[in-house]
């Protein structure tokens, strides 16, 4: 499958699967700021490459000091890491929870970290009929059964912030809470929602931030965690020395100064996210409200289409979308796409429109008649083998539709 390593944005796997060069895809499967890295990043790469002969600052002092200034919290409450991913892993290793409450669906690395630390999961199902927004009543059973709650704020893949009142209940519950605010920078009034300031002083609250999404530098790896200084010292002691490389530290400092980039990014999103949500809705797709730069939607049941089938069709056209059915709690018609620049979004909508109308026409004309008992992916497989690039179906990438059909009838919802 395309998410062979559990995430979107795997261009090499996509290239093996769909036969296009890795750098030629229009990638809606990972949620980066489409404005690209701020201009300072290029300058740093060009002018500082020789400095990699030196070790980076093991205490990441300059960046911590900048973050401390930006968020008005003590530098002693901040630990910088090699992406938020490192800090998710570290904080779970530190807290060693026996039972962790996780929303379903949510980012898979939380579960991964809990299992690696030998803990168990308590599922907190989010309901489609409540737009996947976490409600107080969803949490009641967790307060008794969990010793840690690990929550996305906003949550991935649903794109929803935790409502203010629920956050307040959470942080006064006496439970330990880790809030992953990896996408918080995309929220225009982030200071109204972020729990960073509380995490700096409260021993039960931890906030993780990523710098890779908003500043579009996933390849450089950069994130930070905010917690009480006692916890930060312990986390630091567990972290691999020089975990944050020299260029990442410089880039982190430079991008924080770029207020113009911040403004432009938020202006772009304020226009583009509602536009794309509206266009997808017009195609008959069920789009979940989102506070951030990605949209979760599902294909209506009557279309008899699974996201895996759509992902494949789109991949062959050079467009990558995220199979959101891989998130526990979502059925096989759920898809997630990043919001990109207008021209790319237009192309996505247009390809989806073409594909859906082609599929609908075939359904209406009885094209699939007599194949009712066949899984639909079988139907698609026959069509592909009849008409095009059979070698791509046998490339051993896990995207082989024969493999997909082994996992069951994809019409199941």
Ligand X SMILES: Cc1ncc(COP(=O)(O)O)c(C=O)c1O
Which residues of this chain interact with ligand X, rule CB under 6 A? 83-85, 107, 152, 156, 180, 182, 210, 212, 218, 223
CB of 334 to ligand X, least distance (A): 16
Which residue number, 25 or 150, has a Cβ lying nearer to ligand X? 150
Nearest residue (beta carbon) to ligand X: 83
Measure the CA dihedral 78/80/85/88, to 10°.
Answer: -30
CB of 316 to ligand X, least distance (A): 25
Which residue number, 79 or 182, has a Cβ lying nearer to ligand X? 182
For residues 63 and 243, the answer to whether their CB atoms sit within 8 Å is no
CB of 355 to ligand X, least distance (A): 26
The stretches of 1-155 forming alpha helices (DSSP H) are 11-18, 39-48, 61-71, 84-95, 108-116, 136-145
Which residue number, 113 or 276, has a Cβ lying nearer to ligand X? 113
Which residue number, 293 or 384, has a Cβ lying nearer to ligand X? 293
CB of 8 to ligand X, least distance (A): 8
Q: Which residues contact 339 (CB under 8 A, 6 or more apart)?
A: 34, 269, 272, 273, 276, 293, 294, 295, 345
CB of 86 to ligand X, least distance (A): 7
For residues 121 and 127, the answer to whether their CB atoms sit within 8 Å is no
CB of 314 to ligand X, least distance (A): 20
Residue pointed to by tokens 């911590």: 64
Which residue number, 107 or 132, has a Cβ lying nearer to ligand X? 107
In whole angstroms, what is the distance from residue 93 CA to residue 116 CA? Answer: 8
Q: Which residues contact 258 (CB under 8 A, 6 or more apart)?
A: 38, 39, 40
CB of 359 to ligand X, least distance (A): 30
In whole angstroms, what is the distance from residue 71 CA to residue 84 CA? Answer: 17
Which residue number, 85 or 277, has a Cβ lying nearer to ligand X? 85
- For 112, counting Cβ atoms within 10 Å of its Cβ (0-12 exposed, 13-18 middle, 19+ buried), the class is middle
Which residue number, 89 or 377, has a Cβ lying nearer to ligand X? 89
In whole angstroms, what is the distance from residue 4 CA to residue 47 CA? Answer: 36
For residues 161 and 193, the answer to whether their CB atoms sit within 8 Å is yes
């Amino acid at each position: 499958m395309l998410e062979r390593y559990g995430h979107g944005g795997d261009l090499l796997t996509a290239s093996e699967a769909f036969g296009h060069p890795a750098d030629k895809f229009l990638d809606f499967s990972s949620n980066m700021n489409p404005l690209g890295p701020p201009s300072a990043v290029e300058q740093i790469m060009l002018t500082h490459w020789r400095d990699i002969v030196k070790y980076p600052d093991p205490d990441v002092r300059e960046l911590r000091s900048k973050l401390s200034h930006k968020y008005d919290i003590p530098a002693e409450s901040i630990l910088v890491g090699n992406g938020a991913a490192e800090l998710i892993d570290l904080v779970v290793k530190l807290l060693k929870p026996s039972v962790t409450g996780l929303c379903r669906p949510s980012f898979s690395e939380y579960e991964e970290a809990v299992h690696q630390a030998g803990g168990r999961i308590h599922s907190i199902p989010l309901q489609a009929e409540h737009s996947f927004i976490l409600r107080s009543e969803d949490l009641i059973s967790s307060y008794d059964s969990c010793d840690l709650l690990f929550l996305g704020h906003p949550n991935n893949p649903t794109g929803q912030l935790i409502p203010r009142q629920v956050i307040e209940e959470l942080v006064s519950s006496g439970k330990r809470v880790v809030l992953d605010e990896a996408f918080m920078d995309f929220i225009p009034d982030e200071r109204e929602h972020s729990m960073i300031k509380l995490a700096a002083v409260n021993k039960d609250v931890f906030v993780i931030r990523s710098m890779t999404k908003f500043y579009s530098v996933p390849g450089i790896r950069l994130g930070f965690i905010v917690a009480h200084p006692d916890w930060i010292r312990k986390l630091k002691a567990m972290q691999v020395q020089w975990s944050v490389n020299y260029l990442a530290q410089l880039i982190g400092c430079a991008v924080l100064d770029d207020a113009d980039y911040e403004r432009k990014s938020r202006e772009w999103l304020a226009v583009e996210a509602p536009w794309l949500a509206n266009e997808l809705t017009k195609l008959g797709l069920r789009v979940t409200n989102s506070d951030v730069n990605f949209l979760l939607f599902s294909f209506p049941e009557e279309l008899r289409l699974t996201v895996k089938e759509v992902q494949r069709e789109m991949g062959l056209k050079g467009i990558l979308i995220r199979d959101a059915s891989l998130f526990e709690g979502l059925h096989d018609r759920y898809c997630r796409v990043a919001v990109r620049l207008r021209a790319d979004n237009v192309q996505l909508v247009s390809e989806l429109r073409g594909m859906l109308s082609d599929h609908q026409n075939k359904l209406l004309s009885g094209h699939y008649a007599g194949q009712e008992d066949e899984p639909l992916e079988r139907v698609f497989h026959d069509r592909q083998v009849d008409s095009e690039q059979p070698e791509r179906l046998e490339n051993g990438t896990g995207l082989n539709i024969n493999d997909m059909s082994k996992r069951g009838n994809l019409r199941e919802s």
